[in-house]
Amino acid sequence: MGKIFYIMGKSASGKDRIYSLLAAHKELNLKTLILYTTRPIRVGEQDGKNYYFVDDGKLEEFRKNGNLIEERAYHTVYGIWTYFTADDGQVNLADSDYLGIGTLESFKKMRKYYGEDAVCPVYVQVEDGERLSRALNREREQENPRYEEMCRRFIADQSDFSEENILNAGIEKRFQNINLDDCVKEIANYIKSVQ
């Protein structure tokens, strides 16, 4: 039976970079589980690669059809941005292993939907000061930097990813993203060990 390796971590902990490197790792042979979001696309992102970028109408359509596995709405300074996972036929656990990204809450819902054994947590951690500095550098490269939103997320993450919430989600193992390549190697070894 296939597994879904589910990457989690605070903002700018390196989830997207790690996701891309693991997805390109031939030996692991992971299919990517693409989430949906109603937030605007960032410079360098591609529709259907990082996320499917959709509008609220599409979200409503999934909801109406009973295909919404989980959703999270963020009240940002730019309005409400919803991130969601839909059962749109992407996942066939009889056939493949998958790679996804999400939050602690979405991870719990994924486990409920696909089964506890099928969804394996990959929790990425970076020291807060370093993480904030990476977030700021990333924002500076954007055409329209959203510093206020960056700060909002940084603060929200402190409670969303509290030690209590991490433990409640059933996460024991953590991967430190100091050097990206080393971190990816460590995660790849873990994935191989449970595949």
Q: Which residues bind ligand ATP (CB under 6 A)?
A: 9, 11-17, 134, 138, 177, 179-180
Cβ neighbors of 99 (< 8 A, separation 6 or more) are: 4, 5, 7, 19, 22, 23, 30, 31, 32, 33
Smallest distance, ligand ATP to C-beta of residue 153, A? 6
The phi-psi region of residue 134 (left if phi > 0; otherwise alpha if psi is between -120 and 50; otherwise beta) is alpha
Shorter beta-carbon distance to ligand ATP: residue 16 or 70: 16
Shorter beta-carbon distance to ligand ATP: residue 9 or 121: 9
Smallest distance, ligand ATP to C-beta of residue 177, A? 5
Cβ neighbors of 153 (< 8 A, separation 6 or more) are: 11, 135
Token pair, residue 130, equals 């370093």
Closest CA to 82 of 38, 35, 146, 33: 38
Smallest distance, ligand ATP to C-beta of residue 129, A? 13
Smallest distance, ligand ATP to C-beta of residue 14, A? 3
Smallest distance, ligand ATP to C-beta of residue 16, A? 3
Which class for 129: exposed (0-12), middle (13-18), buried (19 or more C-beta within 10 A)? Answer: exposed
Shorter beta-carbon distance to ligand ATP: residue 32 or 118: 32
Taking a C-beta distance cutoff of 8 angstroms, is the pair 24, 104 a contact?
Answer: no
Shorter beta-carbon distance to ligand ATP: residue 159 or 179: 179
Shorter beta-carbon distance to ligand ATP: residue 118 or 131: 131
